[in-house]
Amino acid sequence: MKFSRRLAIIAALLIAAGCSRESKDERIVLGFSQIGAESEWRTANTESIKAAAATSNIDLRFADAQQKQENQIKALRSFIAQKVDVIAFSPVVATGWDTVLMEARDAGIPVILTDRAVTSDPSLYVGFLGSDFVEEGRKAGRWVAEQFATVAQDVNIVELQGTVGSAPANDRKKGFEEIIAANPRLKIIRSQTGDFTRTKGKEAMEAILKSESRKIHALYAHNDDMAIGAIQAIEEAGLKPGQDILIVSIDAVKGAFQAMIAGKLNATIECNPLLGPQLMTSVTEVVSGRPIAKRMVVEETMFTMETAKQHIQSRKY
């Protein structure tokens, strides 16, 4: 074979190889900064996002921030440097995002918020997909108000808050307080953070049980993991969770259903973590230049220990 013909074949092969790499590169690149793995909810959320990216053929660059805002900011800056097509993230706290969001805007990269909101100017992101946390707090408040509707004495409530400064902790507190304000007998006597984890929920409840001399009638935990941790603390203190202290929490993860079936958790308010498919649809729309809704709210319900058994099999997380 002549040298020139061999060169032409090599060139054709290189072009073909280049083309196939190019078609691989044509996939949408999504940079996603996850908060961490603090709860059962978060694990389900991560799995949903990874699975939906794979089925949508989206090239997902996933970064775990281990519950630290500085790690999330670093991840967002790295996505900007990588020139990804879209950035999505679940912000650990609500404030402190303006600078990095402006950097993304200046780089022409659209940002979608998932799960949690920020206090930044809404023009800095294209959409926000997630639950209505205030409404979740209201549902928990209504449930507590109903349980003690006919009780004449003061009802002492302990609140375990989520991560300080996070949208769900702020909003779930707000919604709950809004409802119980209608009944002056319902009193939050102690409120402490458990950072959305089982370990810290247990520690916080232990400390409260040790230092509180008043009877605790109800516990409101901002998520199921903290309620599950608190249940252990209540049992170790020689009390019966679900009976001596009524407990309501938020998420409706499998662990909560198991606790309800065991009679230790009275109710859980659903917070749906399966945001992956809707996020990938939004990402595709944004890249195609089509508008997406600024606020996409997830439909949710609630479950009590009376009906837990009939629902547990159909739960997906």
CA atoms of 172 and 95, how far apart (whole Å): 17
Q: Does 137 bind ligand AHR (CB under 6 A)?
A: no
Q: Does 196 bind ligand AHR (CB under 6 A)?
A: yes
- What does 242-293 look like in DSSP terms, one character per residue? TTTBEEEEEE--HHHHHHHHTTS--EEEE-----HHHHHHHHHHHHTT----
Q: Are 223 and 197 in contact (CB under 8 A)?
A: no
Residue span 86-115 as binding mask against ligand AHR, x where in contact by CB under 6 A, dash where not: -----------------------------x
Residue among 228, 250, 260, 279 that touches ligand AHR (CB under 6 A): 250
Helix (H) or strand (E) holding 299, with range, is: none
Q: Does 251 bind ligand AHR (CB under 6 A)?
A: yes
Q: Does 39 bind ligand AHR (CB under 6 A)?
A: yes
Helix (H) or strand (E) holding 306, with range, is: none
CA atoms of 186 and 300, how far apart (whole Å): 25
Q: Which of residues 113-132 bind ligand AHR (CB under 6 A)?
A: 115-116
Least distance in Å: CB of 110 to ligand AHR? 22
CA atoms of 142 and 177, how far apart (whole Å): 10
Task: Between 116 and 173, name the residue whose CB sits nearer to ligand AHR.
Answer: 116
Q: Which of residues 42-81 bind ligand AHR (CB under 6 A)?
A: 42
Least distance in Å: CB of 252 to ligand AHR? 10
Q: Is 271 exposed, middle or buried (0-12, 13-18, 19+ CB in 10 A)?
A: buried
Task: Between 85 and 225, name the residue whose CB sits nearer to ligand AHR.
Answer: 225
Binding site for ligand AHR (CB under 6 A): 38-39, 41-42, 115-116, 168, 196, 223, 225, 250-251, 271
